[in-house]
Structure formats: C-alpha cells, structure tokens
Amino acid sequence: MSIGVLVAFALVFNILFTMAMSYLNPIGKPQAILPDDSKRKHPESAPRTISNRNGTSVSKSGGIGKITDINLATMDNSISKTVNFDDLENGSNAGRGMVLPFQPLSIAFNKINYYVDMPPAMKQQGIAEDRLQLLHDVSGAFRPGVLTALVGVSGAGKSTLMDVLAGRKTGGYIEGDISISGFPKSQDTFARIAGYCEQNDIHSPNVSVRESVEYSAWLRLPAGLNSEKKKMFVDEVMELVELFPIANALVGLPGINGLSTEQRKRLTIAVELVANPSIIFMDEPTSGLDARAAAIVMRTVRNTVDTGRTVVCTIHQPSIDIFESFDELLLMKRGGRVIYAGPLGTRSVDLINYFEAISGVQPITDGYNPATWMLDISSPSAEARLQAKPGSNKRTQYSDSWRTRSSFPLQIPNDLH
C-alpha cells in the first residue's frame, strides 16, 4: 500500500514539474543586481530631430538651423548629389531628439599615406627601404546620418586608417589632408567631438551598467552642465542603446559572470555616446558575436546613426544581413589601398552593378553574400587571373578605376560649420 502511494506521488510530481517547466517563464541566466530605490523616469520631452538615412539631422527646437539643401561634391567633381531636407518632414523616418544638442560634422580625407620604420626582420631579408608604407593614397569621407562600413581582409589597413583619422597613431609618419566639415583637423579640438569604441570591451567589473555610463558622463561632459541635465542625457543614451532592462546589473568579468559579450558591446557604445560626440569610430563591433547578438548590436548602431551622428565601423567579413544594414562602403585590399568607395544601394545593387561592369569579373550568383563575393573577386589571385588575359591590363583597371569613380562629398555647406 505504502509503495503504491509513493509511486503515485512520484508520478504526479514529475508530471506537474514537467508542465511547470514547460509553460512557466524560464529562470534564465542569474545576474547580480544592485538595488535602486529611486526609479528614474525616461525622458519624455526632448527636442525632436528629423533625420535621413543618407543625410544629416535637422533639429526642430532651434539647436541646429534648418537646412534647405546640400550639394555633395565628389572627389573627381564628376558626380553631384542634392539632398532636399524639406521633403524629410513629410516622411515617417523621424529621428530621436536629444537632451543635449550636438553639431553634425563630416570628416573628409585626401591622399592619406602612413609609414612606419622598417622592421629589422624585414631588413635582414634584403629590403633596402627605411620605411614600410601601410596606407597608399587613401581618400574618402564619412557623413552625418550615414552608416559607413570599412571592409577588407586581414592586413588591408582598416584599423590603421581608422586610427590615423581618429588621431590614435602616436608613431610613424602621416601624409595627406584631413578636414572636419571643410576645416583643417586639429587633434586638440577633434578629441572633444569624436568617440572611439575599441574592439576589446574593457569595463570595471564591480559597478553597475548605469554607474559605468554616469561615470563617463561626469568625466567627459562640460563641467558647467547641471547634474539634472547630465542624468537626463544618461537616461536617454541608455534608452537609445537599449540598456534600461539591465541598468542595475553588475558589469562583472568577461566569460565568468555579469554581462554577456553583446551587452558589453552596447555598454561600450553607451560609454562613448554619453560624451555627446559628433563622430564615432567603431572597431569591429560585431566580432565574436553570433547572428542574433550581432543583429542587436547593429540595431543599436543604427539608432546612433539615426540621431544624425557620423558613424564608421570596421567589419572583417560580415554576414549578408549585417552587410546590407550599412549605407556606404569603403573597401580596402591588402597593402592599404582603396578599391571601392561609394554607396551600397538597396540589396547592394550599386556595389554589384559596379563590380559586374568591369570586364572579366565573374557575376554574383543568386543568394550569395555580396560581402564575400566582393572579397573573392578582389583577391590577389583574382587580380592575377584578370591580368593574365592576353592583350589586357585589368589589374590597373581593377584597383585604380574604383578609386577614381568613388562618390564621397568633400564640400560641406556653411550651415554645418
């Protein structure tokens, strides 16, 4: 009798336990939370901003004057684009308003060359030159409200170019011109309007997410700004990068406890964004992430671009979904040379049409990733096959014609100065 009761009890218990585990919400990953007695409210009233996916942002509260049109001159003065901002107010793509105003700025660079001293190991192999050139005549520009991808294989010079533009190279020799909205770049002032998100997400493990963002805000925002404004801006940035659900979670140690890799990436973006920069550099924000986590991070990056800021990201070999979330592309090949600079187009149609217009290039197959395809056809082996054809010099066309046909703006209107 007692054995039958025990068997029946065990059977009923297992059935109820299985049903509870199936239909109730999973517990999920345990995470340390700091108590927060005073719940801060989300900013409900802020200046609204009209933004365009391929343009800049226009503040409706008077922070930035209304812009009627912008003439985007190309590097070779052969192509021009006109953006009419009167049409934006009739569209549905309205950007977020920001508590603190900022100035949309572009960065343009022309014939950038970067050299380092020749390594002793290479000199021992018989190389006579004193300097090793890492960047060769790199030209282009990054614009407000436009998400630009800096793509290339390992050793192409993506991070090197971004470090040179951001002023993070303390050694070596730099040649060329860099301008900010038409004015020569001064590193002392540029550091105040630019942010840099490194690939390695280094944060203090013993503070919460909110404390990390607030610490950066109090250090980097103007000292004359009152505390209430700073707190409102911190709240707005955390909402922008979707950190409010984990605002009181401890950062923790990577791979041990605390935030996941994707959450750390978003925290890195928030720590830089809370300084209210106009230009943000991001070094491989999706590296080490799975498809879902990379999509979340790129959604955060797109939210940042939609505020009207200038954002450029280095990407090694993106998936098709990540690649097509960008607006423009700067493609580099090994040796620090630019082989394509311009818009991607819907489903990368501009990029594909441009490559396929070059004689000898194998067309892309249906469903193939355009990012993988462009890296394949621009590899040294592909260039060698094109050059090997009798009576043709495709190698020069393959590398030089893309650079001369790139379409980046070098003239910025006075409204943005």
Confidence tier at 83 by pLDDT (50, 70, 90): very low
Residue 321 has pLDDT above 70, yes or no: yes
Residue 318 has pLDDT above 70, yes or no: yes
For residue 91, give both structure tokens: 């569209």
**Residue whose structure tokens are 């999509």:** 295
Supply the pLDDT for residue 40. 45
Supply the pLDDT for residue 237. 93
Give domain status of residue 94, yes or no.
Answer: no
Supply the pLDDT for residue 128. 81
Confidence tier at 10 by pLDDT (50, 70, 90): confident
Secondary structure of residue 394 in the 3-state scheme: helix
- What is the mean pLDDT of the segment spanning 359-386? 85
Secondary structure of residue 224 in the 3-state scheme: coil
The per-residue pLDDT of the chain, averaged, comes to 77
Give domain status of residue 43, yes or no.
Answer: no
Give domain status of residue 200, yes or no.
Answer: yes
Confidence tier at 123 by pLDDT (50, 70, 90): confident
- pLDDT: is 367 or 93 the higher one? 367
CA distance 313 to 93: 22
Secondary structure of residue 370 in the 3-state scheme: helix
Give domain status of residue 351, yes or no.
Answer: yes
For residue 262, give both structure tokens: 């994707």
Confidence tier at 358 by pLDDT (50, 70, 90): confident
Supply the pLDDT for residue 412. 41
Give domain status of residue 33, yes or no.
Answer: no
Give domain status of residue 16, yes or no.
Answer: no
- What is the mean pLDDT of the segment spanning 135-147? 92
Structural domain span for residue 276: 142-170+178-409
pTM reported for the whole predicted model: 0.71
Give domain status of residue 250, yes or no.
Answer: yes
- Distances in whole angstroms, Cα of residue 312 to Cα of each of 135, 210, 268, 308, 341: 18, 26, 15, 13, 13
Residue 173 has pLDDT above 90, yes or no: yes
pLDDT tens column, 204-260: 989 999 999 999 999 999 888 899 999 999 999 999 999 989 999 999 888 788 888
Give domain status of residue 124, yes or no.
Answer: no
Residue 211: how many other CB atoms lie within 10 Å: 16
> Closest Cα to residue 399, out of 377, 414, 367?
377
Q: What is the CATH number of the domain that holds 341?
A: 3.40.50.300
Supply the pLDDT for residue 401. 47
- Number of domains composing the chain: 1
